[in-house]
Amino acid sequence: MVFFATLAFIEYLATATAGVESVTLGWDKLNHVVAFAVLYVLISFSFKKLGTVYRVLLLFAFGLQIEIVQSFLPPREFSSFDAVADMVGIVIGMAIYPFAARWLKSF
């Protein structure tokens, strides 16, 4: 449930045409990295039986979908650098997940 809520929130932020400029970490690519690292950790907790390759492919497809939608929105545009930042976030999420899983098991 948290995964899908986060997915919907990120979709909203990525496709809103006005009013979300204040939601930023200071550098657009950092927003992508953090969002996709969080998404990777959440998808890993939510769908434990889903293999790593499928998690990566699904999140990359989600990021690509966002870029395609943005290409049709007047103030937005398609950015391959954003897609790269998404992948960096996914890789960071892959590195964080084992630590997060161990931390949660300690409770």
Question: Each residue of 19-36: pLDDT tens digit?
Answer: 555 555 667 899 999 999
User: Is residue 23 included in any domain, yes or no?
Assistant: no
Q: What is the pLDDT of residues 78-90, one digit of tens each?
A: 999 999 999 999 9
- The pair of three-digit structure tokens given for residue 89, joined into one six-digit string: 């976030």
Q: Provide the residue range defining the domain that includes 61.
A: 2-16+28-105
- The pair of three-digit structure tokens given for residue 67, joined into one six-digit string: 């870029």
Confidence of residue 96 (pLDDT cuts 50, 70, 90): very high
Q: Cβ of 94: how many Cβ atoms within 10 Å?
A: 16
Q: What is the pLDDT of residues 32-64, one digit of tens each?
A: 999 999 999 999 999 999 999 999 999 999 999
- The pair of three-digit structure tokens given for residue 34, joined into one six-digit string: 């953090």
User: Is residue 21 included in any domain, yes or no?
Assistant: no
Which pLDDT value is given to residue 27?
A: 76
Domain count, the chain: 1
> In which element (H, E) is residue 23 found?
none
User: Is residue 22 included in any domain, yes or no?
Assistant: no
Which pLDDT value is given to residue 21?
A: 54
User: Is residue 77 included in any domain, yes or no?
Assistant: yes
User: Is residue 34 included in any domain, yes or no?
Assistant: yes
